[in-house]
Amino acid sequence: MLVITNRQAGGAEDGALEAAAAVLRRDGKVSVVSCRSPQDVDAVLEGYPDEGTLVVAGGDGSLHAVVAALHRRGELARRRLGLIPLGTGNDFARALGLPLDVAAAAHVVRDGQVRELDLLADDAGGVAVNAVHAGAGARAALAAAPWKRWLGPAAFPLGGVLAGVTARGWRLRVEADGAVLADGSDRILMVGVANTPSIAGGTAVLAAHAAPDDGLADVVISYATGPLTRLGYALRLRHGQHTDHPDVSAAQATTVTISGEDFPINTDGEVGGPVGRRTWTVLPRAWRVLAPDRPPLRPPERPP
């Protein structure tokens, strides 16, 4: 079993990582390798046997990096992955019902069931396991980044406040399976394309009914660009109640295209762009992950 982490020795999480590794070693040999870049991930994967279990010890960004590397190498469908949630947000772990206690998560890697999950693939060669959101959400992630070390998941709402002060919105066209959901005539605060329910460490339930194995992406469009409407949207987003409001529209689709004014993108917590056009397509049951042996998936509980 190979455990891939992006942590260097000496961090506060080393004890947690060792506790997880100790559980995994009960079934045999475990190697722990730290990767700091996509090139490191490729180097580790080179020559690793297909039948071996790959375990990601980290958060959504670490999981994204490994899944993206396997997808790029054409190896994703034949690999089996496990996850030890050591990140700040851990939205994927919450969606799948994985325990956030690392030893308990390691037991899931040992004894859980294999589940086949969907993947969001874009036309630039990228992928997303959780969600993509364009616009204010990406700016909020950038604003939250400096505070994550001290505040943990609480940094995400703070980032939303800081980003929302100046957010005017973008004129964007949104198409879902060929249907025009937004024609670009009105400013849009944010567009979300979700494979799992929550973003921002569970502090925002972007698509309460999204499931990563239903073959569909949940699309959420917010037109809340005014000062008061932005605040209302942020408050409702925390509990997944925003889709009932008239300034929000929602749909499901297998292919989603956003185009128009250059917009920033947040993909599984990693911010990129700006770009003027991007298309995402659902790849059904494209990868396999070890999950708890219980009926998933339900909207994750928001952390205190």
- Taking the C-alpha atoms of 258, 148, 99 and 97 in order, what is their torsion angle to the nearest 10 degrees? -20
The H helix count followed by the E strand count for the chain is: 9, 16
Q: Which carries the bigger pLDDT value, residue 294 or residue 37? A: 37
Instruction: Report whether pLDDT(299) > 60.
Output: no
DSSP string, 150-162: HHGGGHHHHHHHH
Say how many CA atoms lie within 13 Å of 87 toward its Cβ.
Answer: 28
What are the structure tokens assigned to 42, written together? 């490729």
Q: Hey, where are the domains in the chain?
A: 2-111, 127-284
Backbone angles phi, psi at 142, to 5 degrees: -65, -40
- What is residue 281's predicted lDDT score, i.e. its pLDDT? 98
Instruction: Please name the fold of domain 127-284.
Output: Tumour Suppressor Smad4 (2.60.200)
- What is residue 96's predicted lDDT score, i.e. its pLDDT? 92
Q: Which helix (H) or strand (E) holds 122?
A: strand 113-122
Distance between CA atoms of 13 and 145, rounded to whole angstroms? 19
User: Taking residues 127-153, what's their average pLDDT?
Assistant: 70
pTM recorded for the entire structure: 0.85
127-284 and 2-111 share a CATH fold: no
Range in 35-39, 110-114, 174-178, 196-200 the model is least confident about: 35-39
Report CA torsion sign: 34, 152, 95, 241.
negative
- Sequence length of the chain is 304
Tell me the per-residue pLDDT of 251-294, one tens digit each, with 9 for 90 and over: 999 999 999 999 999 999 888 889 999 999 999 999 999 999 75
Instruction: Report whether pLDDT(55) > 50.
Output: yes
Instruction: Please name the fold of domain 2-111.
Output: Rossmann fold (3.40.50)
Tell me the per-residue pLDDT of 80-125, one tens digit each, with 9 for 90 and over: 999 999 987 899 999 999 999 999 999 999 999 999 999 999 999 9
Q: Pairing state of beta strands 80-85 and 31-34? A: unpaired
